[in-house]
Amino acid sequence: MGTGYFLARCQFPCAEPRIALMDLNENSLEFAQRRIARYKPEIYRRNVLEPIHINAEKFDSVAINYLLHCLPGSIESKSVVLAHLKALMNQSAVIYGSTILYDGVARSRLAKWLMDKYNNRGIFSNQNDDLEGLQKAMAKHFEDISIEVIGCVALFSGRLSSPTP
């Protein structure tokens, strides 16, 4: 979930956006909540690797930035996160995010060194994450998939289903 840095600095299309923060780490949640307190965010302490149940309206969009490469397992096993988040989304909602890929993308010498260091320390778990796996995972759960790779970072999005005209 991070620190809420970008949420605190972005411009929303409305004065009172509905924002929900979800993380397993209580410290991260509290920090981000304080940073964006003016938006009165909903707070959910949950493990995205397990089914997610909340007593709230579904969402029009879900963001998962820089999360997948930190979760244990292969990109295929991590895709359970997409299924869990899908349950929280409205019919034509969009999911979007970013992740750092290990294989199938260009990695600079510095990126290789940092990824190996972070993987060895258990900060990252992306040694089995590749572009093809991300594409398959997104296509399994969503429509209108878009994945753009910049260096070793994949920016992705997908819709739950096509909006009806």
Q: Looking at residue 82, which CATH number applies to its domain?
A: 3.40.50.150
> How much is the pLDDT for 116?
96
Do 97 and 136 belong together in one domain? yes
Tokens of 138: 């997104």
Q: Which residue, 1, 150, 134, 13, is CA-closest to 62?
A: 1
Query: Is the pLDDT reported for residue 163 higher than 60?
Result: no
Do 85 and 162 belong together in one domain? yes
Query: Is the pLDDT reported for residue 165 higher than 60?
Result: no
pLDDT-derived band at 42 (thresholds 50, 70, 90) equals very high
Q: pTM for this structure?
A: 0.90
> How much is the pLDDT for 3?
85
* Residue 77: strand, helix, or coil: helix
Do 113 and 69 belong together in one domain? yes
**Domain of 19?**
1-46
What average pLDDT does range 109-122 have in this prediction? 96
> How much is the pLDDT for 29?
94
Core vs surface per residue 64-88: b (16+ CB within 10 A) or e? beebbbebeeebeebbbbbebbbeb
> How much is the pLDDT for 1?
58
Do 69 and 123 belong together in one domain? yes
130 secondary structure, DSSP code: B
Do 67 and 110 belong together in one domain? yes
Question: What is the number of structural domains in the chain?
Answer: 2
Do 18 and 78 belong together in one domain? no
Query: Is the pLDDT reported for residue 162 higher than 70?
Result: no
Is 89 inside a domain boundary?
yes
pLDDT-derived band at 160 (thresholds 50, 70, 90) equals confident
Do 153 and 77 belong together in one domain? yes
Average pLDDT, the chain: 93
